[in-house]
Amino acid sequence: MPSYLPPSFSRLGGPGKFGIGLLCVTVLAAGCVSGGDSTEDSDDQGGKGGQSNGGKNVEGNEVFATTSTSSLKYGNSLSFGAYPVQRVQDGVLVMQMRATNQDSENDIRFSQILAGEGSNTTAAGLMLIDTQNAKAYEPLTSGSSEECVCSDWKGQEVLAPGDSVDFSVAFPSPPEDIDKVTIATFATPDIIDVPIIDGSVDDEIPSDLNDPSIVPLSAYQDEAGGEVSREEGSEETRIMLSSDVLFDLNESELTDGAAETLESVAKEIDESGATEVSIDGYTDSSGNDSINVPLSKERAETVLKELEDLVTTADVSFTAEGHGSEDPVGDNDTEEGRQKNRRVTVSFPK
């Protein structure tokens, strides 16, 4: 079989987290695209661009499918090409993509858009979806710092017109009978039916891989029209609350509408029996972190005080931190993405 050689692997970036926006992987709704289709932008697609395999041979060293970003900042100027995913060794897949500046005049600064919670110049925020078994596969990590096993394009962030950069991410491998997956990002429509082939890479996969993170799709829930979302891990529950519901603009006092939401969270903490609760505040990238970090911390502390009053379990320890615009879960170049990033996350062990 042919080998689709990715750039060198580096230990950069943290594991990506997709707590929201995975409707396309369970039902192939509008906005999800496959290598066999070609889709034009239209108003009812929300600017999400299209995808085509351009008649290329999947078995050759060619891109399987391309799609443009859903970012309002870049629009169709930034495109992504997905190669067939390679099964390179037992338990490991390597996904390779190519980002291309299609603009004929302007440079594009290509960073953060695929990073998730990882380094800005990695694709640590991507996921592979096994729709047949309803599983979501997060990037593999290595070492005690749980750094993403993925390539880094640091130094190549600025794409001149017509320039491209290739990048790769290693994932846990689905069962042998699975021959196609969906690539899910928060910067593009989902790329579906990407074939899995046997392959190889020049660089060694790290030997100190951590246990893979494979999550049932049912664990990713988006509730109340996006106002509350959650991640259910094997050891921890993370509930992400929209700051737009909890607070007024640039304020850290709770709105009247916050009470019902926090009462529900407090009840869940009580039912879990957790004795430690972490509360983390985040903002979007608007403004600067000299304002965003203190605001996010104040909001986290406000939620902490309210939960302390609402939780009835004795001896629960609460901590609050503010992170400003760090660790985005959405694309800060879109209003939808910025709204997702303005959040307070409540985490507690199961």
User: Tens of pLDDT along 277-291?
Assistant: 999 999 999 989 999
Task: Indicate whether 205 and 64 sit together in one domain.
Answer: yes
Residues 327 and 198 occupy one common structural domain: no
* pLDDT attached to residue 19: 36
Out of 187, 215, 243, a domain closes at 215
Identify whether 46 is part of a domain.
yes
Domain boundary among 163, 190, 215: 215
CATH number, domain containing residue 317: 3.30.1330.60
Residue from 199, 200, 176, 169 nearest 82 by CA: 169
Is residue 286 domain-shared with residue 315, that is, in the same domain? yes
Residue 40 lies in a domain: yes
- Position 221 in a domain: no
203 lies in the same domain as 342: no
Does 254 fall in a domain? yes
If asked whether residues 145 and 165 sit together in one domain, one would say yes
Q: In degrees rounded to 5, what are phi and psi of residue 278?
A: -105, 135
For the ranges 218-227, 276-285, 308-317, which has the lowest average pLDDT? Answer: 218-227
Whether 206 and 260 map to the same domain: the answer is no
What does pTM read for this prediction? 0.55
Residue 147's pLDDT is 86
Query: Same structural domain for residues 111 and 17?
Result: yes
Same domain? For 42 and 164 the reply is yes
In a domain, 39, yes or no: yes
Report residue 175 CA to chain centroid gap: 23
The answer to whether position 58 is within a domain reads yes
Residues forming beta bridges with residue 147, ordered by sequence position? 142
Q: Which of 165, 189, 215 is the last residue of a domain?
A: 215
Q: Are residues 166 and 273 in the same domain?
A: no
Element (H, E) at 303: helix 289-310
Q: Are residues 176 and 198 in the same domain?
A: yes
Q: Which of 25-39, 50-64, 167-181 has the lowest mean pLDDT?
A: 25-39
Whether 108 is covered by a domain: the verdict is yes
CB contact set of 287 (below 8 Å; sequence gap of 6+): none
Any idea which of 3-12, 216-225, 319-328 has the lowest mean pLDDT?
Answer: 3-12
Radius of gyration of the chain (CA): 20
Tell whether 222 is covered by a domain: no
Rounded to whole angstroms, how far apart are CA atoms 135 and 237? 18
More confident residue, 228 or 21: 228
Is the pLDDT assigned to residue 144 strictly greater than 80?
A: yes
Number of domains in the chain: 2
Domain interval for residue 249:
227-349
Beta carbons of 227 and 20 less than 8 angstroms apart? no
